[in-house]
Structure 1
Amino acid sequence: MDKKGSLGEVARLFFKLGLIAFGGPAAHIAMMEEEVVSKRQWMSRQHFLDLVGATNLIPGPNSTEMTMHCGYERAGWKGLFVAGGCFIFPAVVFTAVLAWFYVEYGKIPAVEPFLYGIKPAVLAIILGAVYKLGKKALKNLQLGIIGLLTIAVSFLGVNEVTAILGAGLSGMLWFGWLQREKDGKLSSFLPLLLLNAGSVAAKTISNSKLFFVFLKIGAVLFGSGYVLVAYLDGELVEKLEWLTKQELLDAIAIGQFTPGPVLSTATFIGYQVNGFWGAIAATAGIFLPSFFFVLLLNPIIPKLRQSRLARGFLDAVNIGAVGIMMAVTFRLGQEILMDWKTWSIALISIAITLGVKKVNAMWLVLGGALLGYLLYHI
């Protein structure tokens, strides 16, 4: 694609998404698909799928890395940094404000009534994206079988990265080796992984130590926000003893119900440990590896389509990623749809998503928040 878009349009779009992107990576990617593919047509749905599939194979927050890919596709390497920064910025600011409330007063403002309605609305956004991406990814019966197997192993407890890699390897075998490709090779593609950066002593807590601890976490973090809990618990509670378990759980909760990437949890923790500059150091550390990984990965993705072996791998990874989104949606539904009020908000949002063309995800989020606030106290 010719990268001729302006940095201004990239900044405006991803700042807006950063303000309304509730619901975790699957929801964020759904909103991006609507804005970047359906509405603005910055890229084809197939290429968007390729980016989603490849992003699942590198460390870091998948949805944040997808904003960087989209920015790169629209406005080159500068667009990569602008898109990622604008998407991260609102979450960091919201989280820092809540961290200040938490440190000063020991509690945070009540936001549960609004989240009560936002969460079921977000389910509708994810379902809409799964439907559209699934139609594009499901190219033949074999890919359908791989997708169903990915969903099955996800429900059996296999983590996302293992499930998607398994799908990709199945696709390589099925569409590449079994068809006896002779000239196509996959030598240009290797999943990227930054090795463990070493431990940091906890005798004194400086901002540089905060930065390097979170840099290490950001460089090796695969999986969902639940995996992040394990990483942070191991490093900050058990090893370094910078936080208690309760403080960590409070930080994770903040990251879950603010918009944007859940890794903004790092901002909250950094503020708890070392105030404003601690928040800056932790935030920079955990997000910096993602910019590096995407900058390396993005240019090689189109080359994967030139080899049948690599193409089979990528097609299977794509259907695997859609399968993971379906499994995530089901699990979220089990947690969120607990009564008639949440079911009502979800069904209304689904009806709007499927029945109204080009409805903006922002209006679904705001409408869900309003309905949630009105119904919460009934």
Structure 2
Amino acid sequence: MTAVSFRDAFWVWARIAALSFGGPAAQIAVMHRILVDEKRWIGETRFLHALNYCMLLPGPEAQQLATYIGWLMHRTPGGLMAGLLFIFPGMVAILALSWLYVLAGHIGAVEGLFFGLKAAVLAVVLQAVQRVGKKALRNRPLWAMAGASFIAIHAFDLPFPLIIVVAGIIGYLGGKLGWAAFDLHQSHGSTGRGLSDADSLLGNGVPDHAKPSLRWSLIIAGAFLTLWLGPVLALNIVLGPDNVFSTIASFFSKMAVVTFGGAYAVLAYVAQEAVQTYGWLQPGEMLDGLGLAETTPGPLIMVTQFVGFLGAWRAPGSLDPLLAATLGGLLTTWVTFTPCFLWIFLGAPYVEALRGQKALSAALTAITAAVVGVILNLAVWFALHVLFWSVRPWSGYGLHLDLPDPGSLDLGALALTLAAILLLFRFKRGTGEVLAGCAVVGVVVKLLAGM
């Protein structure tokens, strides 16, 4: 079907993976520039067609887009190659930095590094609220849905999956009933005009392996469900459901099904459960992990590997803590990303039918609006734990709130956070540049304080 050899494709996907910094928008832009404009492997319309489908799925859309295009060009092996390469650099980097974190995290320079990253990460999350909100909230009903979502998760402590399900049902029904508020034809920007599908290497035709087949669907679903859920069931049977590895496998498998709306949305859910329910890490450590993920290539959701790493580090059982942590981190990555391949290999042949359903598009519109409220909750949660030394829970009248102690305000963190916000919003500096600058300032401040 294609003149591109598997070997040549490997090196191109490796190059894309190495450049996959800056979150999904930047990663998709890099793929567009290389695959559409430079290599001319795929046309503009087909690229956006694939992206629209990936936006409907739970999980990291950029990684799934790479898997989709790799599958389109070189069947299942091509999809596996592209998807795995997209994950690999970030997985290795996060694992190495996690080792550094637990072994040298109390050294002054390392403490300073994470002090600076926390301030920058808070500014980056606020920027994510602004960007997603500007795109998603185009009318009053969607603003109301975002507000209701924020109140539900922030004040009433309702679980993230429930909010997503309710929003999706409202949007789906709205689409069925023809409500104008949910009839939004969202377009995804690109880095250039792009070429037509007719001029691309793939052309306009549909490859034989991309046509729906019930037999193939059953085979691929069985294979990847076994790869994904087999280890989860085995760990629960052998070690018991209360073992840390069983808990990690079960929790992140559940998370993989509800991660609509991107990494920032699901991080509120992960932070809530990992910190408050399971006690795998402290609020400040969650921020540290997000800082690591922001500064390494690959999907931002790779921060979950850091969470699993610390969870197993603190409950290693009979294993060496570092070995247990390493296994916990890798297990988290396995159950987080294996479903991503299932969604693509199983669903991609049916993408035309999915894209033609207005009600499904309306459900996505409603979910995206709800996600804005969830990300705002994440920003508020991060702000409380970055800017204040002491935060206490308060409950009453059905509400569950975290209230800061005003006297515990960290003026240094506040100053650095305001500087990061100014750089991002006023001077339009890049995320990587702001993260690096704040990290350097944090190291200098901690070293001077220790002198």
TM-score by length of structure 2 reads 0.59
What one-letter code is carried by the residue in structure 2 that aligns with 1:142?
P
Partner of 1:189: none
Spell out the pairing of 1:274-313 with structure 2 (5 A cutoff): 274-275=319-320, 278-298=324-344, 299=348, 304-313=354-363
Does structure 1 conserve the Cα–Cα contact (< 8 Å) formed by 2:28 and 2:62?
no
Q: Give the 3 Å change call, closer, same or farther, for CA 94–130 of structure 1 in structure 2.
A: same
Structure 1 Cα separation of the partners of residues 52 and 415 of structure 2:
31
Match of 1:227 among 266, 269, 273: 273
What one-letter code is carried by the residue in structure 2 that aligns with 1:339?
D
Structure 2 Cα separation of the partners of residues 51 and 296 of structure 1:
12
Match of 1:267 among 309, 319, 322: 309
Partner of 2:84: 81
Pairwise CA distance, 1:6: 2.1
What one-letter code is carried by the residue in structure 2 that aligns with 1:340?
L
Q: Give the 3 Å change call, closer, same or farther, for CA 263–226 of structure 1 in structure 2.
A: farther
Structure 2 Cα separation of the partners of residues 367 and 142 of structure 1:
39
Q: Give the 3 Å change call, closer, same or farther, for CA 370–45 of structure 1 in structure 2.
A: farther
Partner of 2:432: 362
Structure 2 Cα separation of the partners of residues 149 and 49 of structure 1:
26
Match of 1:218 among 235, 252, 258: 252
Partner of 1:170: 170
What one-letter code is carried by the residue in structure 2 that aligns with 1:295?
F
Higher mean alpha-carbon deviation, 262-271 vs 165-174, is at 262-271
Q: Give the 3 Å change call, closer, same or farther, for CA 332–72 of structure 1 in structure 2.
A: same
Partner of 1:114: 113
Structure 2 Cα separation of the partners of residues 330 and 122 of structure 1:
12
Spell out the pairing of 1:51-70 with structure 2 (5 A cutoff): 51=54, 54-55=57-58, 65-66=60-61, 68-70=63-65
Higher mean alpha-carbon deviation, 255-264 vs 303-312, is at 255-264
Match of 1:371 among 441, 444, 447: 441
Pairwise CA distance, 1:87: 1.9
Partner of 1:335: 385
Partner of 2:296: none
Structure 1 Cα separation of the partners of residues 339 and 142 of structure 2:
28
Size of the aligned set, in residue pairs, is 318
Partner of 1:126: 125
Structure 1 Cα separation of the partners of residues 125 and 422 of structure 2:
13
Structure 1 Cα separation of the partners of residues 150 and 288 of structure 2:
26
Structure 2 Cα separation of the partners of residues 98 and 371 of structure 1:
19
Pairwise CA distance, 1:348: 1.8
Structure 2 Cα separation of the partners of residues 341 and 96 of structure 1:
27
What one-letter code is carried by the residue in structure 2 that aligns with 1:84?
I
Pairwise CA distance, 1:212: 6.1
Partner of 1:240: none
Pairwise CA distance, 1:311: 1.0
Structure 1 Cα separation of the partners of residues 131 and 247 of structure 2:
39
Pairwise CA distance, 1:332: 1.3
SS in 1 for 2:138: coil
Does structure 1 conserve the Cα–Cα contact (< 8 Å) formed by 2:308 and 2:332?
yes
Partner of 2:288: 257
Does structure 2 conserve the Cα–Cα contact (< 8 Å) formed by 1:155 and 1:327?
yes
Does structure 1 conserve the Cα–Cα contact (< 8 Å) formed by 2:27 and 2:62?
no
Higher mean alpha-carbon deviation, 215-224 vs 308-317, is at 215-224
Q: Give the 3 Å change call, closer, same or farther, for CA 202–312 of structure 1 in structure 2.
A: closer
Partner of 2:94: 91
Structure 2 Cα separation of the partners of residues 263 and 350 of structure 1:
27
Q: Does 1:71 align with 2:121?
A: no
Structure 1 Cα separation of the partners of residues 121 and 248 of structure 2:
29
Pairwise CA distance, 1:46: 11
Give the unaligned 5+ runs of structure 1.
18-30, 56-61, 181-191, 204-208, 234-247
Match of 1:35 among 8, 14, 26: 26
Cα-to-partner distance string for 1:299-350 (whole Å, 9 max, x where unaligned): 3677544211111101111111122111211221122123332222222212
SS in 2 for 1:139: coil
Pairwise CA distance, 1:160: 1.6
Give the unaligned 5+ runs of structure 2.
34-43, 72-78, 181-224, 259-268, 294-302, 388-408
Q: Give the 3 Å change call, closer, same or farther, for CA 214–333 of structure 1 in structure 2.
A: closer
Partner of 1:353: 424
Larger Rg: 2
Structure 2 Cα separation of the partners of residues 277 and 53 of structure 1:
37
Spell out the pairing of 1:4-19 with structure 2 (5 A cutoff): 6-14=12-20, 17=21
Cα-to-partner distance string for 1:24-52 (whole Å, 9 max, x where unaligned): xxxxxxx3145235677569999879756
What one-letter code is carried by the residue in structure 2 that aligns with 1:197?
L
Cα-to-partner distance string for 1:176-197 (whole Å, 9 max, x where unaligned): 23559xxxxxxxxxxx996972
Structure 2 Cα separation of the partners of residues 130 and 53 of structure 1:
20
RMSD, matched Cα: 4.0
Does structure 2 conserve the Cα–Cα contact (< 8 Å) formed by 1:54 and 1:317?
no
What one-letter code is carried by the residue in structure 2 that aligns with 1:109?
I
Does structure 2 conserve the Cα–Cα contact (< 8 Å) formed by 1:51 and 1:301?
no
The sequence identity of aligned pairs, in percent, is 15
TM-score by length of structure 1 reads 0.69
Structure 1 Cα separation of the partners of residues 89 and 140 of structure 2:
40
Does structure 1 conserve the Cα–Cα contact (< 8 Å) formed by 2:167 and 2:367?
yes
